Structures are given as structure tokens and as C-alpha cells.
Amino acid sequence: MTLTAKGVSIGYGDERVLEDVTIGVETGEILTLVGPSGTGKTTLLRLLSMFQRPDSGTVAWKDTDVWELSAEERLGVRRQSSMVFQEPSLFNAPVYENVMYGQRVRKSWRERIRERVVGFIDDESMSDSVQTALETVGMIDKDGQNALSLSGGEAQRVAFGRALAVNPEIMLLDEPSSNLDPRNTAVLEDAMFRAKERGVGVIVATHDMNQARRISDRVGFIYDGELVETGPPAQIFDDPTDRRTKRFVEGELLYDMDDSQTPSTPALE
Amino acid sequence: MFLPLLTQLPDNGWTYILSTILVSLQVSFTAVGLSTLFSLPVAVLVGFTDFPGKRIVTAVINTGMGFPSVVVGLAVLLVISNSGPLGTLDLVFTPQAMIASQFILATPVIMSISLSAVESVEQSVRDAAFAMGGTDVDVGIVVIREARYGIITAILAGFGRAISEVGSILIVGGNIVFSDGQSYTRTLTTAITVEARQGHYEIGFVLGVILLVLVFGVNGLGSWVRSKGRGERSA
């Protein structure tokens, strides 16, 4: 596995958010994490993105514990992956500048200052990967527009492009299409497939069962901080082995469950 | 309107006026520039780290906006006077001493307004910078870039505080002008004080108008930059 969480646990105060979770993702596959909101999916993605260190267990990049590395080495590992959040979180700058951000921070200060000066005098030229990323998400026509003036769907596509433009080995996506209309969701899913075809490993946290079924090579069901079950979509959705997975899938089908209501949650205990 | 007044200037009047303007701008721009370089990293650090006593630090910064300038001048004078800790530097009655006191007066203004601008940058934007491979410094730069319009307001407010300052620079600068009319530590504000006291209302009036034009000019530039930014956002 390229990026793995091995027996990770984390909590805040007395509250346990993740308990002994082991899961990994390989390049060239799409792994979805499903489960109700507040169940630990985002926390797991943040641990895998090295935002914070787990209380116990390890996060490994190609079998190396990332928290045993020096800060500089860990930065090098972090730069092999990128993340897209539920909110697009774009910078107040033109679209192309947002998308080239990841590449820019990877350059030396000297080069960055030179680019700024050149960009001030003349239009900045986009690198191939920035251009390809913008084409992949269908935003090449709006490359000069300010990112904060985009619609929600367009903004999220740019956020995906920004994460793709750094040529990551792994992309982590936290509910990337939860606020999007069907058309933008389709564009984003298509972009995920194209990333996968390029050999990128994609981890997607979602509570959209249909999306998980459409895009996944593997699905992990997380409930109450625990990784309950992992398997191909057909197994998780049609023939789950764990009672809780079964109840969740059924609940989703019955109630078209929105996170705020989760009516079947107490019954799962 | 004040053109007739200019004809009544003494022989070295223009040297006097121009050098006074220059001293004012040099002292205030330097003080505000240094204060900005100091205040921004502190604002980012205070804004985005949790530490014991953070509320007290924030309260102190905010309180600093109301520092009485004569007290600051007195404190700076005590520090740089011959018997003070920096006495050996020989800074009494120099532009450097005036820069120091304007720095102290402008810093709480710049820091406090920058702090609230920086705190208004959403956590998710910082997370995005980190997740794209940014270091802590890169994240800090993103925060400053995102808060840039608030920071411009902060710098303008700091400049307003510095250029219109009288009390402390009078104490530490000494309001010195050479016999040929060349200003050494006399600024527009301290010159107005002297001219008014000596009954030279014409020249005081001219200096006052120049000061107002400068302040309007700098603020106008700031407003233009900010409106350009708003245009960018809705483009």
C-alpha cells in the first residue's frame, strides 16, 4: 500500500474519534470511506494528510512511519499527496494562480520571487500540469477569473484541479461533491476516474451511497470511529457481512438519510 | 486660495517647507514600514496559535492603540538619554529617535487591525495551503495575502497615527531646524505648532494644507487599491 493508517486511534478529551483503524490505499485505485457524519471519516483523512499525529498507531507512506521522519522529510512525503475539502477553500486570486499554488510552494524562494516579478510585468505562463488539471475539470476557459466569483460547483472543480496539478500519487477528498448539483458531481467523478487512470490513488469520504457504488474499487464503512468493514462495492452494498453495515445501507435506502437525522443510529447500538 | 500666502514666505521658505515635508515622510514611512514588518508576523502568530495568556496579549495590543503620545515620547527619551540603557547610541534629538517613538505608536494600531483581518481568514483556507504542500511559512503568507485588504487598512491607520503625531516627536526629536531653513527633526506637525505659537499663521496654514493633502493622498491610494480588490472579487 502507498499510504496506510495502521491501528490509528485519536480522541479529543474524553471523546474517542477513531479507534484502532487500519486501512490503506494503493496508487491507481479509488477507495471510498462511507458512514454517517461525525463518525470519523474527516479525522481519518486529516491523519492521512499529516495534519495531526495519531494518539496511537502509525501513518505510513510506503511502509515508513511518517511521524518518525524529520520535519523536512515529512514535508517531502506530504508533497506526494494532496487534499480536497468539503468547502472549496480557494484563495482570493485568479483561478490559474489557485491551481498553480501547489507547484509554486515546491519551488525555491529565488524561483518563486522571479516568477512573481515576471508575472507582474507580463502574464504568467501556465505549466503543462496546471493546464491539464484545468482541462480535466473543465475550467480552462475561466483560468483568469477570480476564484471567489465562481459558483459553488465551479469552485469545487477548481479545488480538485488545484489538488491534481501537483501530480500527486494520492489524493484525499473529503465529501467533495456534497454541496454540488448532479452535473458538477458528474464532472468531478469523471475527473476522479481520469486521475485514477493516470495512476493516482484516490480516497473519497462520502455519505452518498450511490456515488460510492458508482466510483469505488473498494469501500470502507466507518461507524462510530471504527472501521467496520472493507470490501468491493458489491459486497458492502449487496452482501455486507457486518450487521451495522447492513443496517446503515438499509437505513440509507429507506430514509435517504441525511446526516442530521440518522434515525437508525440508536438502534445500531 | 493659499497661493498669496506662499508669496509672503521668507527667503528660505521653500527650503523650509520642502525639507519639513521630507522629514515628515521619511520618519513616518520608515516607522510604518518597520512597524508593518514587525506587526504582520506577530499578528499571524497571535491569530493562529493558542497559548496561555492569549487574551491578555490581545487586550494589551488593543489598549496600545490609545497610548498617550507624550508618555511614549517621555519613555523613549528616558531609554535613549545619556543615562538610559541606549544612551551610548546618541539618539536624542535625531530622526531615528522620532522613528522609534512613531514605531511604538503605530505598532498597536497596525497590529490590532491586522490581527482582526488575519483572524477573519477561514481555517479551511489555511488547511488548503497546508494540504497543497505548504510549510508553516507558506501558510502564513497565504493568510497575509487573503487578509491583504484589511492589512492595507491597518497600514493606512498606522500611517495616519504616525504622520499626525506631535507630542512624542517634539520630545525626542527636539524640533530642530538649521539656520538655512533646512529641517533636521522638524516635521509638518511640529512645524505647525511652532509657527502658530510664533504667530506665523500663514506658513502654519500652508503646512496644514500640505499635511492634509498628504494624508488624503496616501488614504486615496489605499482606497484605490482596496476598490481594485473588490473589483477583482466580483470580476
Q: What are the structural domains, with CATH classification, of chain B?
A: 2-234 (1.10.3720.10)
pLDDT score for B174: 94
Name the one residue in this structure whose C-alpha cell is 457524519. Answer: A37
CB B132 to CB A93 under 8 A? no
Query: CA of A145: how far to CAs of A118, A140, B129, in Å?
Result: 19, 10, 20
A260 or B154: whose pLDDT is higher? B154
Q: Does B231 touch chain A (CB under 8 A)?
A: no
Q: B131 contacts in A (CB within 8 Å)? A: 49, 51, 82-83, 85, 163, 172
Q: Best mutation site among B123, B124, B132, B149 for testing chain A: the one with the most A CBs within 10 Å?
A: B132
CB B207 within 8 A of CB B195: yes
A252 or B63: whose pLDDT is higher? B63
For residue A111, give the C-alpha cell.
524561483
In angstroms, the separation between the Cα of residue B42 and the nearest Cα of chain A is 22
In angstroms, the separation between the Cα of residue A90 and the nearest Cα of chain B is 7
pLDDT score for A269: 36
Which pairing describes strands A226-231 and A218-223: parallel, antiparallel, or unpaired? antiparallel
Q: What is the interface pTM, i.e. ipTM, of the complex?
A: 0.87
Mean pLDDT on A57-71: 95
In three-state secondary structure terms, A160 is: helix
Q: B138 contacts in A (CB within 8 Å)? A: 105
Q: B225 contacts in A (CB within 8 Å)? A: none
DSSP B199-216: T-HHHHHHHHHHHHHHHH
CB A58 within 8 A of CB A22: no
Nearest-by-CA chain A residue for B123 = A89
Q: Does B225 touch chain A (CB under 8 A)?
A: no
Mean of pLDDT over chain A: 89
* Integer Cα distance of B170 and B163 in angstroms: 13
For residue B183, give the C-alpha cell.
529641517
- Kindly state the percentage of chain A with pLDDT values over 90: 74
The residues of chain B scoring below 70 in pLDDT are 1-10, 229-235
DSSP state, residue A68: G
Q: B130 contacts in A (CB within 8 Å)? A: 51
Q: Does B154 touch chain A (CB under 8 A)?
A: no
**In this structure, what are the phi and psi dihedrals at residue A223, rounded to the nearest 5 degrees?**
-140, 125
Which B residues, 71 through 130, put their C-beta within 8 Å of a C-beta on chain A?
122, 124-125, 127-130
Q: Does A90 touch chain B (CB under 8 A)?
A: yes
Nearest to A89 among B127, B135, B138 (CB): B127
Per-residue model confidence as pLDDT tens digits over B3-19: 555 666 667 888 899 99
Q: Does B52 touch chain A (CB under 8 A)?
A: no
Inter-chain CB pairs, A–B, below 8 Å: 67
Nearest to A78 among B127, B133, B145 (CB): B133
Statement: residue A91 has pLDDT above 80? yes
* Integer Cα distance of B38 and B32 in angstroms: 10
CB B102 within 8 A of CB B33: no
Per-residue model confidence as pLDDT tens digits over A143-154: 999 999 999 999
* Integer Cα distance of A99 and A158 in angstroms: 7
Query: CA of A60: how far to CAs of A34, B147, B162, in Å?
Result: 22, 36, 54
CB A159 to CB B232 under 8 A? no
Nearest-by-CA chain A residue for B148 = A92
Per-residue model confidence as pLDDT tens digits over A196-229: 999 999 999 998 888 999 999 999 999 999 999 9
Contacts of residue A203, defined as CB under 8 A and 6 or more positions apart, other chains included, come to: A3, A25, A31, A32, A33, A45, A48, A170, A171, A172, A173
Residue type, B85: P
Statement: residue A28 has pLDDT above 80? yes
The whole-model pTM stands at 0.82
pLDDT band at A247 (very low <50, low <70, confident <90, very high): confident
Q: B128 contacts in A (CB within 8 Å)? A: 83, 85, 89-91, 159, 162
